[in-house]
Chain A
Amino acid sequence: MFFPRFKKSTNNNGFSIIEALVGITLAALLLVAFTSLITQTIKINQANMSKLKATMYLQELIEIAKDLEQSATSTIFYNTGDPSPCTNCHPIVKGIAWEFDNDPLNNPETIDGFTRSMTISPVLRDWWSGNIVQTGGIDDPWTKMATATISWYDGFKYNTSTLETYLYYYGQ
Protein backbone atom coordinates (compact mmCIF):
# COMPACT_ATOMS: atom_id res chain seq x y z
CA MET A 1 0.00 0.00 0.00
CA PHE A 2 1.39 3.42 -0.90
CA PHE A 3 -0.15 5.38 1.99
CA PRO A 4 -0.56 3.16 5.03
CA ARG A 5 -2.69 4.70 7.76
CA PHE A 6 -0.99 5.50 11.01
CA LYS A 7 -2.07 3.54 14.00
CA LYS A 8 -4.61 5.54 15.94
CA SER A 9 -3.37 6.63 19.36
CA THR A 10 -5.11 4.82 22.14
CA ASN A 11 -3.28 6.56 25.02
CA ASN A 12 -5.66 8.97 26.71
CA ASN A 13 -4.14 8.83 30.19
CA GLY A 14 -2.14 12.13 30.17
CA PHE A 15 0.92 12.35 32.47
CA SER A 16 1.62 9.70 35.04
CA ILE A 17 2.63 10.70 38.58
CA ILE A 18 6.24 9.64 37.85
CA GLU A 19 6.45 11.88 34.78
CA ALA A 20 4.98 14.78 36.71
CA LEU A 21 7.40 14.25 39.61
CA VAL A 22 10.42 14.01 37.28
CA GLY A 23 9.34 17.22 35.55
CA ILE A 24 8.84 19.11 38.81
CA THR A 25 12.17 17.83 40.22
CA LEU A 26 14.08 18.90 37.12
CA ALA A 27 12.47 22.33 37.21
CA ALA A 28 13.25 22.68 40.94
CA LEU A 29 16.87 21.60 40.38
CA LEU A 30 17.32 24.20 37.65
CA LEU A 31 15.74 26.87 39.84
CA VAL A 32 17.95 26.04 42.83
CA ALA A 33 21.08 25.93 40.63
CA PHE A 34 20.30 29.31 39.08
CA THR A 35 19.48 30.94 42.41
CA SER A 36 22.64 29.50 43.95
CA LEU A 37 24.70 30.82 41.03
CA ILE A 38 23.33 34.33 41.45
CA THR A 39 23.82 34.28 45.24
CA GLN A 40 27.40 33.07 44.91
CA THR A 41 28.19 35.72 42.30
CA ILE A 42 26.88 38.47 44.58
CA LYS A 43 28.86 37.13 47.52
CA ILE A 44 32.07 36.91 45.46
CA ASN A 45 31.51 40.48 44.32
CA GLN A 46 31.03 41.67 47.90
CA ALA A 47 34.11 39.70 48.97
CA ASN A 48 36.17 41.48 46.30
CA MET A 49 34.96 44.87 47.49
CA SER A 50 35.71 43.89 51.10
CA LYS A 51 39.24 42.93 50.09
CA LEU A 52 39.78 46.30 48.41
CA LYS A 53 38.53 48.11 51.51
CA ALA A 54 40.60 45.92 53.82
CA THR A 55 43.74 46.68 51.80
CA MET A 56 42.90 50.39 51.96
CA TYR A 57 42.34 50.41 55.72
CA LEU A 58 45.48 48.35 56.28
CA GLN A 59 47.58 50.58 54.04
CA GLU A 60 46.20 53.59 55.92
CA LEU A 61 47.84 52.38 59.15
CA ILE A 62 51.20 52.18 57.39
CA GLU A 63 50.70 55.64 55.88
CA ILE A 64 49.85 57.07 59.31
CA ALA A 65 53.01 55.48 60.68
CA LYS A 66 54.91 57.20 57.85
CA ASP A 67 53.28 60.52 58.84
CA LEU A 68 54.35 60.02 62.46
CA GLU A 69 57.84 59.00 61.30
CA GLN A 70 58.21 62.61 60.10
CA SER A 71 55.93 64.54 62.46
CA ALA A 72 56.29 62.78 65.85
CA THR A 73 59.88 61.58 65.91
CA SER A 74 60.20 61.78 69.69
CA THR A 75 57.20 59.46 70.06
CA ILE A 76 58.11 56.93 67.41
CA PHE A 77 61.84 56.69 68.09
CA TYR A 78 61.51 55.87 71.76
CA ASN A 79 64.56 55.06 73.85
CA THR A 80 65.88 51.55 74.20
CA GLY A 81 64.20 49.86 77.14
CA ASP A 82 61.20 52.19 77.19
CA PRO A 83 57.73 50.78 76.49
CA SER A 84 56.56 51.00 72.90
CA PRO A 85 54.29 53.98 72.17
CA CYS A 86 51.93 51.63 70.34
CA THR A 87 51.27 47.98 71.09
CA ASN A 88 48.10 46.68 69.41
CA CYS A 89 46.87 50.26 69.33
CA HIS A 90 45.16 52.36 66.67
CA PRO A 91 45.72 55.94 65.53
CA ILE A 92 43.26 58.75 66.24
CA VAL A 93 43.00 62.28 64.89
CA LYS A 94 43.72 65.17 67.27
CA GLY A 95 43.37 68.44 65.40
CA ILE A 96 45.72 68.02 62.46
CA ALA A 97 47.93 65.42 64.16
CA TRP A 98 47.79 61.67 64.50
CA GLU A 99 48.11 60.11 67.96
CA PHE A 100 48.08 56.58 69.29
CA ASP A 101 45.15 55.30 71.35
CA ASN A 102 46.55 52.58 73.59
CA ASP A 103 43.45 52.11 75.74
CA PRO A 104 42.74 48.35 75.76
CA LEU A 105 39.01 49.11 75.90
CA ASN A 106 39.20 50.82 72.51
CA ASN A 107 41.44 48.24 70.85
CA PRO A 108 41.45 46.67 68.37
CA GLU A 109 39.61 49.32 66.40
CA THR A 110 36.51 48.26 64.50
CA ILE A 111 35.75 50.32 61.43
CA ASP A 112 33.16 49.52 58.77
CA GLY A 113 33.14 45.82 59.79
CA PHE A 114 36.95 45.57 59.76
CA THR A 115 39.08 45.05 62.88
CA ARG A 116 42.53 46.57 62.76
CA SER A 117 45.46 47.43 65.00
CA MET A 118 49.15 48.32 64.76
CA THR A 119 52.32 47.87 66.76
CA ILE A 120 55.58 49.82 66.80
CA SER A 121 58.41 47.50 67.79
CA PRO A 122 62.20 47.77 68.14
CA VAL A 123 64.60 46.74 65.39
CA LEU A 124 67.82 44.84 66.05
CA ARG A 125 70.99 45.39 64.01
CA ASP A 126 74.17 43.38 63.83
CA TRP A 127 76.74 45.52 65.65
CA TRP A 128 79.45 44.85 63.07
CA SER A 129 77.69 44.96 59.66
CA GLY A 130 74.74 47.17 60.63
CA ASN A 131 72.33 44.78 58.91
CA ILE A 132 68.90 44.23 60.42
CA VAL A 133 68.72 40.86 62.17
CA GLN A 134 65.91 39.01 63.88
CA THR A 135 67.96 37.91 66.91
CA GLY A 136 71.37 38.50 68.43
CA GLY A 137 71.76 42.14 67.43
CA ILE A 138 71.59 45.39 69.35
CA ASP A 139 68.54 47.65 69.54
CA ASP A 140 68.71 50.51 67.01
CA PRO A 141 66.81 53.47 68.53
CA TRP A 142 66.67 55.23 65.11
CA THR A 143 64.90 52.43 63.31
CA LYS A 144 61.54 50.96 64.28
CA MET A 145 59.19 48.50 62.72
CA ALA A 146 55.49 49.25 62.18
CA THR A 147 53.26 46.20 61.88
CA ALA A 148 49.64 46.66 60.84
CA THR A 149 47.03 43.89 61.01
CA ILE A 150 43.46 43.77 59.80
CA SER A 151 40.86 41.00 59.96
CA TRP A 152 37.43 40.79 58.37
CA TYR A 153 34.70 38.39 57.32
CA ASP A 154 34.05 38.44 53.57
CA GLY A 155 30.89 36.32 53.50
CA PHE A 156 32.81 33.06 53.04
CA LYS A 157 35.53 33.00 55.70
CA TYR A 158 37.48 35.12 58.17
CA ASN A 159 40.56 36.76 56.66
CA THR A 160 43.61 38.32 58.24
CA SER A 161 46.15 40.46 56.46
CA THR A 162 49.37 42.03 57.76
CA LEU A 163 51.71 44.71 56.44
CA GLU A 164 55.10 45.69 57.82
CA THR A 165 57.36 48.65 57.18
CA TYR A 166 60.47 50.16 58.70
CA LEU A 167 60.44 53.68 60.12
CA TYR A 168 63.70 55.63 59.92
CA TYR A 169 64.84 58.72 61.77
CA TYR A 170 66.11 61.26 59.26
CA GLY A 171 67.47 63.72 61.83
CA GLN A 172 64.83 66.43 61.55
Chain B
Amino acid sequence: MTDLNTTPQPWKPIYIIMVSRFFLKKKNEQGFTLMETIVALGIGLLATTMIFYIFTLGLKNIRTIKNTESLHSNANFFLNTLTYWIKQGKNLEVLPASPGNILEITLPDNSTTTIDKSLLEINGVSATTTFKKMEKSIQLNFIIQKGSASTSATTTIAQRTIQ
Protein backbone atom coordinates (compact mmCIF):
# COMPACT_ATOMS: atom_id res chain seq x y z
CA MET B 1 0.00 0.00 0.00
CA THR B 2 1.34 3.43 -0.89
CA ASP B 3 2.37 5.75 1.90
CA LEU B 4 1.08 9.23 1.04
CA ASN B 5 3.47 10.97 3.42
CA THR B 6 6.60 9.68 1.64
CA THR B 7 5.37 10.20 -1.99
CA PRO B 8 7.01 13.33 -3.60
CA GLN B 9 4.53 16.10 -4.42
CA PRO B 10 5.08 17.41 -7.97
CA TRP B 11 3.86 20.98 -7.32
CA LYS B 12 4.91 22.25 -4.01
CA PRO B 13 4.27 25.98 -3.37
CA ILE B 14 8.01 26.72 -3.48
CA TYR B 15 8.12 25.80 -7.16
CA ILE B 16 5.31 28.19 -7.99
CA ILE B 17 7.13 31.01 -6.25
CA MET B 18 10.32 30.24 -8.15
CA VAL B 19 8.52 30.28 -11.49
CA SER B 20 6.74 33.53 -10.69
CA ARG B 21 9.94 35.26 -9.65
CA PHE B 22 11.71 34.09 -12.78
CA PHE B 23 9.08 35.55 -15.11
CA LEU B 24 8.23 38.65 -13.22
CA LYS B 25 11.76 39.85 -12.69
CA LYS B 26 12.52 42.96 -14.71
CA LYS B 27 15.72 42.55 -16.62
CA ASN B 28 15.92 45.85 -18.51
CA GLU B 29 14.32 48.95 -17.21
CA GLN B 30 15.84 51.33 -19.76
CA GLY B 31 13.37 51.00 -22.75
CA PHE B 32 13.80 53.14 -25.90
CA THR B 33 14.73 56.79 -25.83
CA LEU B 34 12.59 59.29 -27.73
CA MET B 35 15.34 59.72 -30.33
CA GLU B 36 15.58 55.95 -30.94
CA THR B 37 11.83 55.74 -31.36
CA ILE B 38 11.73 58.66 -33.81
CA VAL B 39 14.64 57.25 -35.87
CA ALA B 40 13.08 53.78 -35.91
CA LEU B 41 9.70 55.18 -36.93
CA GLY B 42 11.35 57.32 -39.64
CA ILE B 43 13.27 54.39 -41.12
CA GLY B 44 10.20 52.18 -40.92
CA LEU B 45 8.08 54.79 -42.67
CA LEU B 46 10.68 55.30 -45.38
CA ALA B 47 11.06 51.55 -45.96
CA THR B 48 7.28 51.05 -46.06
CA THR B 49 6.84 53.93 -48.53
CA MET B 50 9.57 52.59 -50.80
CA ILE B 51 8.23 49.04 -50.75
CA PHE B 52 4.69 50.27 -51.39
CA TYR B 53 5.86 52.47 -54.28
CA ILE B 54 7.87 49.68 -55.91
CA PHE B 55 5.05 47.19 -55.43
CA THR B 56 2.50 49.60 -56.96
CA LEU B 57 4.82 50.35 -59.86
CA GLY B 58 5.30 46.63 -60.46
CA LEU B 59 1.54 46.00 -60.44
CA LYS B 60 0.96 48.92 -62.81
CA ASN B 61 3.56 47.59 -65.21
CA ILE B 62 2.14 44.08 -65.08
CA ARG B 63 -1.29 45.53 -65.92
CA THR B 64 0.15 47.52 -68.83
CA ILE B 65 1.93 44.42 -70.15
CA LYS B 66 -1.29 42.40 -70.00
CA ASN B 67 -3.14 45.20 -71.81
CA THR B 68 -0.45 45.39 -74.49
CA GLU B 69 -0.72 41.63 -74.99
CA SER B 70 -4.46 42.06 -75.53
CA LEU B 71 -3.81 44.78 -78.12
CA HIS B 72 -1.24 42.55 -79.81
CA SER B 73 -3.56 39.57 -80.10
CA ASN B 74 -6.52 41.74 -81.16
CA ALA B 75 -4.48 43.40 -83.91
CA ASN B 76 -3.29 40.00 -85.15
CA PHE B 77 -6.82 38.61 -85.19
CA PHE B 78 -8.16 41.71 -86.96
CA LEU B 79 -5.53 41.67 -89.68
CA ASN B 80 -5.80 37.91 -90.24
CA THR B 81 -9.59 38.07 -90.51
CA LEU B 82 -9.48 41.11 -92.78
CA THR B 83 -6.90 39.48 -95.05
CA TYR B 84 -9.00 36.31 -95.25
CA TRP B 85 -12.09 38.21 -96.46
CA ILE B 86 -10.38 40.79 -98.69
CA LYS B 87 -8.38 38.16 -100.59
CA GLN B 88 -11.52 36.31 -101.62
CA GLY B 89 -13.71 39.37 -102.19
CA LYS B 90 -14.51 40.26 -105.77
CA ASN B 91 -15.64 43.78 -104.95
CA LEU B 92 -14.85 46.07 -102.05
CA GLU B 93 -16.77 49.17 -101.01
CA VAL B 94 -16.19 51.60 -98.18
CA LEU B 95 -19.46 52.78 -96.65
CA PRO B 96 -19.70 55.87 -94.46
CA ALA B 97 -20.40 55.42 -90.76
CA SER B 98 -19.97 57.49 -87.65
CA PRO B 99 -17.27 57.41 -86.44
CA GLY B 100 -14.96 56.05 -89.16
CA ASN B 101 -16.43 53.85 -91.86
CA ILE B 102 -17.36 50.28 -92.76
CA LEU B 103 -15.82 47.94 -95.29
CA GLU B 104 -18.34 45.96 -97.36
CA ILE B 105 -16.94 42.92 -99.15
CA THR B 106 -18.85 41.24 -101.98
CA LEU B 107 -17.89 37.58 -102.27
CA PRO B 108 -17.82 35.51 -105.50
CA ASP B 109 -21.32 34.14 -104.77
CA ASN B 110 -22.59 37.78 -104.55
CA SER B 111 -23.19 37.58 -100.82
CA THR B 112 -21.79 40.43 -98.79
CA THR B 113 -20.06 40.73 -95.47
CA THR B 114 -19.17 43.89 -93.57
CA ILE B 115 -16.21 44.62 -91.36
CA ASP B 116 -15.97 47.49 -88.90
CA LYS B 117 -14.22 48.37 -85.69
CA SER B 118 -16.31 45.89 -83.68
CA LEU B 119 -13.96 43.17 -84.96
CA LEU B 120 -11.21 44.86 -82.94
CA GLU B 121 -13.33 45.60 -79.89
CA ILE B 122 -12.99 42.34 -78.03
CA ASN B 123 -11.39 41.64 -74.65
CA GLY B 124 -12.22 45.16 -73.44
CA VAL B 125 -10.28 46.91 -76.21
CA SER B 126 -11.64 50.15 -77.69
CA ALA B 127 -10.83 50.88 -81.32
CA THR B 128 -11.16 53.32 -84.18
CA THR B 129 -10.78 52.11 -87.76
CA THR B 130 -10.73 53.92 -91.10
CA PHE B 131 -10.71 52.17 -94.46
CA LYS B 132 -9.66 53.69 -97.77
CA LYS B 133 -10.33 51.95 -101.06
CA MET B 134 -7.37 51.91 -103.41
CA GLU B 135 -7.35 50.53 -106.95
CA LYS B 136 -6.77 46.91 -105.96
CA SER B 137 -6.29 47.11 -102.23
CA ILE B 138 -7.66 48.53 -98.99
CA GLN B 139 -5.57 50.89 -96.91
CA LEU B 140 -6.63 50.82 -93.30
CA ASN B 141 -5.76 52.82 -90.25
CA PHE B 142 -6.56 51.69 -86.75
CA ILE B 143 -6.07 52.94 -83.22
CA ILE B 144 -6.56 50.48 -80.37
CA GLN B 145 -6.52 51.18 -76.68
CA LYS B 146 -6.90 49.25 -73.45
CA GLY B 147 -6.19 50.96 -70.14
CA SER B 148 -2.99 52.93 -70.43
CA ALA B 149 -1.71 50.86 -73.38
CA SER B 150 -2.48 52.01 -76.90
CA THR B 151 -1.10 51.63 -80.39
CA SER B 152 -1.93 52.76 -83.90
CA ALA B 153 -0.87 51.62 -87.34
CA THR B 154 -1.58 52.04 -91.03
CA THR B 155 -1.34 49.09 -93.37
CA THR B 156 -2.62 47.80 -96.71
CA ILE B 157 -4.19 44.55 -97.81
CA ALA B 158 -4.41 43.75 -101.52
CA GLN B 159 -7.31 42.09 -103.30
CA ARG B 160 -6.82 39.01 -105.39
CA THR B 161 -9.38 39.41 -108.13
CA ILE B 162 -7.63 37.05 -110.54
CA GLN B 163 -8.85 33.64 -109.42
Contact = CB atoms under 8 A, between A and B. Distances in A.
A5 B61 CA distance: 55
Interface residues on A, range: 20 to 34
A41 interface: yes
Interface string B49-88: 0100010011001001100110110011001000000000
B155 A38 contact: no
A97 interface: yes
B157 A63 contact: yes
Interface string A11-32: 0000000000000000000010
Given A67-B156, A70-B159, A8 B27 contact: yes
A144 to B, nearest CB: 15
Interface in B112-163: 132-137, 139, 151, 153-162
A134 interface: no
A98 interface: yes
A64 interface: yes
Contacts of B161: 70
Interface residues of B, number: 38
A48 interface: yes
A148 B50 CA distance: 49
Contacts, number: 90
B18 interface: yes
B97 interface: no
Given A52-B72, A70-B136, A93-B139, A38 B156 contact: no
Contact of A49 (B22, B27, B72, B79): B72
Interface of A: 2-3, 5, 8-9, 31, 34-35, 38, 41-42, 45, 48-49, 52-53, 56-57, 59-60, 63-64, 66-68, 70-71, 93, 96-98, 112, 170, 172
Given A38-B57, A52-B76, A172-B162, 17 more contacts: A8-B27, A9-B28, A38-B61, A41-B65, A45-B64, A56-B75, A56-B153, A59-B155, A60-B155, A60-B156, A63-B157, A64-B137, A64-B156, A64-B158, A67-B134, A98-B134, A98-B135
Interface of B: 15, 18-19, 22, 27-28, 50, 54, 57-58, 61, 64-65, 68-69, 71-72, 75-76, 79, 132-137, 139, 151, 153-162
